Structure 1
Amino acid sequence: MATTSRDYYQVLGVPRSASAEDIKKAYRRLARQYHPDLHTGGKKVEMEKKFKELNEAHEVLSDPDKRKKYDQYGADWEQAEAYERARQQAGAGAGGFGGADMRGGFAGGGDFSDIFENLFGGRTRAGATRGFAVQGEDLETEADLTLREVLTGVTKRVTLREPESCPTCQGGGRLKGRPCPTCLGSGSVMESKTIEVRIPAGVQDGTRVRVAGKGQPGMNGGRRGDLYLHVHILPDPVFRQQGSDLHVTLPVWPWEAALGAEVMAPTLGEPVRVKIPPGSKADGKLRLKGKGLPTAAGGHGDLFLHLHIVMPSSLSDEERKHYEQLKRLRHDDPRVDLLAAAQRG
């Protein structure tokens, strides 16, 4: 999660009193608007920046604990969180600190940096060898996928934040006998890191993808936490998804439905030629086996074509002549069953 100077609530366009559901709705609405895959050229670069900022804001405000710290400490909430974990670890080995207060230091005096000094003697968190090994925290973020990315699988770039040795004090935590103003005496600062994560084909909406060892670093030799990606599949303008099956509306002319025809139909890959059976009805449905999304069992779902009979917007004299000829032929009334059912009701 990269550093941003903008207020996270402003990024999502919600008030500070917004509920978790309000935050979720705002994120999903803006994610569809800013998703880079929906833009091209220079606009795509701009949307990548906005989408990255949007994910940063959502990652914090959607997590109750992170949101609480952000509301309390603002842009410095991660430094405060790192301190709190360090204090708890050191406190477990020294019988606790009782009167420590994150906002005002110890109840009996001292400030934020002095507490770091008392805990670690000016050393970095990695240098605090006392206490048990502590596993790093897990990280969670969201990944938006198009249906075509679900079909083939995709590699996503994810930006993470993790502690690095402070460049000001070189990890020592102190400058000229005083706690370092950059890292507040902790010896480390949060830096951005971008990694690539492969999301397999066929992933379903709401799936939680685990990437082992890509979470926060551990303490005292503890192993790194894991990274979890929550998959959200974006709406598609053509295809409707139901599990591993896809559905699409296929327009046909009246004569194609009546006489049968061969027409081109869309798929997530290349268009395919399909046969419209003679006498097809307006609510008819054709099945293209194996043209859907990958399944957990290793196969593919199906693609269903829902026939929609469309009329010409205008008729030529020749077309009108043929329709007049059809009108004069004897046909059963297609409304008989409808009228009878209405009378019975």
Structure 2
Amino acid sequence: MATAPRDYYQVLGVSRTASADEIKKAYRRLARQVHPDLHSGSKKAEMEKKFKELNEAHEVLSDPDKRKKYDQYGAQWEQAEAFEKARQQAGTRGFGGQETSGSFGGESFSDMFENLFGGRSRGGTRGFAVTGEDLETEAQLTLKEILTGVTKRINMREPQTCTICQGSGVFRGHACPTCQGTGFTTELKTIEVKIPAGVQEGTRVRVAGKGQPGMNGGKRGDLYLHITIESDPIFRRQGSDIHVALPVYPWEAALGADVMAPTLTEPVKVKVPPGSRAEGKLRLKGKGLPSATGNGDLFLTLQIVMPPSVTEDAQSLYERLGRLKHPDPRADLLTQARLR
């Protein structure tokens, strides 16, 4: 009895949602362990078999197109793909422009499918249960939504199994006129997807059973949301940390002050230490974004700004300050310029 092929994801030891980089790293790590040249005796023959299996899994899962077909059809993805192409090419007309009646070379689609896969669907109808294709769309989140998590309403044209041909694509020996032989129709729907707090940009959120309908009783594919993060005019993200430019007046930096600073939730009061310099940073621990190791921090970068207008009293104070002796703030700059 032939041994059923192992699942390629199990061979590589990765999940079905693994990224291309994770697949590459898993392959390299395992290849170093099972390479036949690193073993001898009876162990070498065993490693040769594992190494061949590892290379087959990597060849399919590292190729986006092959991986998609493998996810849809499983180990027999190449045969299923060949059948699908044959059905699409045949349609309601055969080769040479001859009319067909749901057949290909004198053989019905269901007969061909059974010959390829040796399966029967429920109710005695010949066919092979094929999982529907996955669908993908984009979900754009704000930093505040990442902080708290959010339920997004996604508008999409959801595939529905054709009620006329029951998903087979064939009706009374011809391509189904309702679904044009595809096996499904579409309906505009709005679904709600709960996205957890702390999701990272580039993450794919899986919504099970919201993809293309399957064929011949196969289960529906899944919907994947690709997470992107909107740029924010105030908050700049760096990993799980958040950075904000905080304006302060010269006297607040020189003398110290309690000022209000923005966060992703409510403003908070922070203390600017006396003698603070421009570009100095204040850290608010735990006020950043969630991560696997806890919340990141929020960093306030001090920006010393001048008042929008100068009153006579302020002008007088500046003049008094200017008459005091101070080190030249440009001394180091001029010295470095001369040395270049």
Asked whether 1:329 is paired with 2:317, we answer no
Does 1:154 pair with 2:157?
Answer: no
Aligned equivalents of 1:170 and 1:217: distance in 2?
8
1:318 to 313, 316, 329: 313
| Secondary structure class of the residue paired with 1:101 | helix
Greater Cα radius of gyration, structure 1 or 2: 2
Q: How many residues align?
A: 252
Q: What is the percent sequence identity of the aligned residues?
A: 61
SS at match of 2:286: coil
- In structure 1, C-alpha distance between the alignment counterparts of 2:99 and 2:86, rounded to whole Å: 14
Q: 1:107 aligns with which of 76, 80, 95?
A: 95
Q: Please name the residue that 1:214 is paired with.
A: 210
Which region of structure 1 is more displaced relative to structure 2, 318-327 or 210-219?
Answer: 210-219
Matches within 5 A, 1:1-345: 92=83, 101=89, 105-110=93-98, 119=109, 129-158=125-154, 159-166=156-163, 181-184=177-180, 188-297=184-293, 299-345=294-340
What is aligned with 1:83? none
Cα offset, 1:108, TM superposition: 3.2
| Superposition deviation, residue 216 in structure 1 | 2.0
State TM-score, norm by structure 1.
0.63
TM-aligned CA deviation for residue 112 of structure 1: 8.6
Shift of 1:214: 2.5
What 5-or-longer segments of structure 2 have no aligned partner?
1-63, 66-78, 112-120
SS in 2 for 1:105: coil
Structure 1 residue 289, shift from structure 2 partner: 0.5
**Residue by residue, what CA displacement relative to the aligned partner does 1:167-219 show, whole Å, maximum 9, x if unpaired?**
799999659x9866433366642223332111111111111122233322222
Cα separation, 2, equivalents of 1:113 and 1:246: 64
1:203/1:178 CA distance change after superposition, 3 Å: closer
Structure 1 residues 120-148: Cα deviation after superposition (integer angstroms, max 9, x where no partner): 69xxx998932322122111111100111
- CA 1:290–1:263 in structure 2 vs 1: closer, same or farther (change >3 Å)? same
**Counterpart residue type for residue 318 of structure 1:** D
Q: Distance in 1 between matches of 2:127 and 2:174?
A: 25
**Deviation string for 1:253-281 (max 9, x for gaps)?**
11101100000000010000000001111
Taking structure 2 as the reference length, the TM-score comes to 0.64
* Cα distance in structure 1, aligned partners of 2:149 and 2:94: 52
Alignment-derived partner of residue 43 in structure 1:
none
Partners in 1 of 2:288 and 2:265 — Cα distance?
A: 10
* Equivalent residue letter for 1:327: G
Instruction: Structure 1: give runs of 5+ residues left out of the alignment.
Output: 1-63, 66-87
Residue 91 (structure 1) shift:
7.3
Displacement after TM superposition at 1:104 (Å): 7.8
